Amino acid sequence: MNNLSLLFSTAIIDNEPIKLLDGAVTLYKRPSSHQWQCRFKLSTGAWHSASTGSDQVAEATTQAIAIYETVKVKLAGDLAIKTRTFRQLATQELAAAARIVQANPNKRTHADYIHIYTKYLIPFFGAYQINDITQELVDDYVAWRISQMGKNPKTYTQRRHAGLYKRVIERARDQGLIHRNRTIPLLEINADRAEIRPAFNQQEVSYLLEYMRDWERFGRNQRSNHMRRLCRVYVEFLLGTGIRQGTESMPIRWKALQWHWIGEQRYLRIWVSGKTGPRYLIARHFVIEALERLIAWQALPYKNLDAVIEAKLDRKVFVFPEGDAPHSLDDVFERLMVESNLLKDATGKNRTLYSLRHTYATFRLADGIDIHTLAKQMGTSVGMIERHYSKLTPMMSAERLAGAIM
């Protein structure tokens, strides 16, 4: 018993670095900390370090290996290794501004910075992870800010909001919290002036759908291939429904899919819980083939979509065969855009998953769908459709507007 006590006391007192996994991971203690830290080299050549949260060697070893394996999975999926909320990063900016104000009370500019962070930016964006901020969320902030102020702010106010928001994004990038290929949308100035958002034309969509057939099969490893296969179906789903990417589409479960019959014609109907409340939407017919391909890849015990719908399967749609789901598909979609040379639209703006929703709206308006029906399908307001697409509708309806002689 004395020997065992001596063994464990020696292991705990001994603070020399410990090599794990054939030297791939090192356990060590900082002079100022009782807890074990771990460090290892990433495939990018950079070093990664983290606290194990334990001062016990056995527990720290288990935690270090778990950290190492988690980081490997994130790298394989092109995900940021670390993450922070907007509030955590904005608080760091707030602290810097507060120090300046404390040192110089007459520094009115920085007092205004604190006001903008605490009254607007943090209350709205605070709970979101930096990598989860989408263009739609930024657009929602603009509308929310108007409701809070009771007016559209003047240009210089918008510029300050945009600048302070950008500081937080840049801080996140400097800290390695944003993947090198990830684009976080920024606040625009003169937001009251609606601009045409990045989308795809028909030729680009046809090319993209064809390109993904081979692209999905040639990832760097199995995890990468899985991300690509899921991304392909997800792109087709967004293009065929107009649903919001992310929080509205990723949680959808198979049991939310139903057949809607009009006479002898059936349509795929999907129950969606969105930011404007729950609604049904109708999918384009090509979505059915994409979902049946997903059913086969996931090896679900059902012959086809008919059987899945009949079973009311309570399982998320957008998951890997093992049942786990990616945090997001933004990064893999951006890589798809780069590799297919479709990243930039005609105006030089980067396309994102959100561009698929704009593409859907553009195509449906061109098909002659009225804005009231489109607004219900997309879970938005008629005013929002008019704001962003009203300038397009005359050009889209040129043939019908021109018509015959009279």
Lowest mean pLDDT across 3-17, 140-154, 158-172, 245-259:
3-17
User: Is 90 exceeded by the pLDDT of residue 190?
Assistant: no
Mean pLDDT, residues 48-53 taken together: 87
pLDDT of residue 11: 44
Amino acid in position 184 = I
Question: 257: Cβ–Cβ under 8 A, 6 or more apart, which residues?
Answer: 268, 269, 270, 271, 291, 305, 308, 309, 317
Confidence of residue 314 (pLDDT cuts 50, 70, 90): very high
Lowest mean pLDDT across 48-62, 181-195, 295-309:
181-195
Highest mean pLDDT among 182-186, 197-201, 274-278: 197-201
Entry pTM:
0.59
User: Is 90 exceeded by the pLDDT of residue 236?
Assistant: yes
Name the nearest CA neighbour of 295 among 281, 280, 309: 309
pLDDT of residue 390: 64
Q: What is the mean pLDDT of the chain?
A: 85
pLDDT of residue 105: 62
Are the beta carbons of 208 and 200 closer than 8 angstroms?
yes
Which one has a higher pLDDT value, 350 or 156?
350
Query: What would the CATH number be for the domain defined by 202-397?
Result: 1.10.443.10
207 by Cβ neighbours in 10 Å (0-12 / 13-18 / 19+) ranks as middle
Confidence of residue 395 (pLDDT cuts 50, 70, 90): low
Mean pLDDT, residues 188-204 taken together: 76
Amino acid in position 180 = R
User: Is 50 exceeded by the pLDDT of residue 117?
Assistant: yes
Long-range Cβ contact pairs of 33-39 (< 8 A, separation 24 or more)? 35/60, 36/60, 36/64, 38/63, 38/64, 38/67, 38/68
List the structure tokens of 353.
């998953």
Highest mean pLDDT among 30-39, 75-84, 205-214, 267-276: 205-214
Confidence of residue 5 (pLDDT cuts 50, 70, 90): very low
Which one has a higher pLDDT value, 282 or 147?
282
CA atoms within 13 A on the CB side of 128: 19
Where do the structural domains in the chain lie, given as residue ranges? 9-76, 86-174, 202-397
Mean pLDDT, residues 49-77 taken together: 86
Mean pLDDT, residues 368-387 taken together: 87
pLDDT of residue 89: 92
Cα distance between residue 42 and residue 17, in whole Å: 19
User: Is 60 exceeded by the pLDDT of residue 242?
Assistant: yes
pLDDT of residue 287: 97
Residue labelled with tokens 């090319």: 207
Cα distance between residue 150 and residue 13, in whole Å: 63
Q: How many residues does the chain have?
A: 406
As a three-state string, the secondary structure of 142-184 is HHHHHHHHCCCCCHHHHHHHHHHHHHHHHHHHHCCCCCCCCCC
Confidence of residue 249 (pLDDT cuts 50, 70, 90): very high
pLDDT of residue 125: 93
List the structure tokens of 356.
């698929």
Q: Percent of the chain having pLDDT more than 90? A: 52
Confidence of residue 32 (pLDDT cuts 50, 70, 90): confident
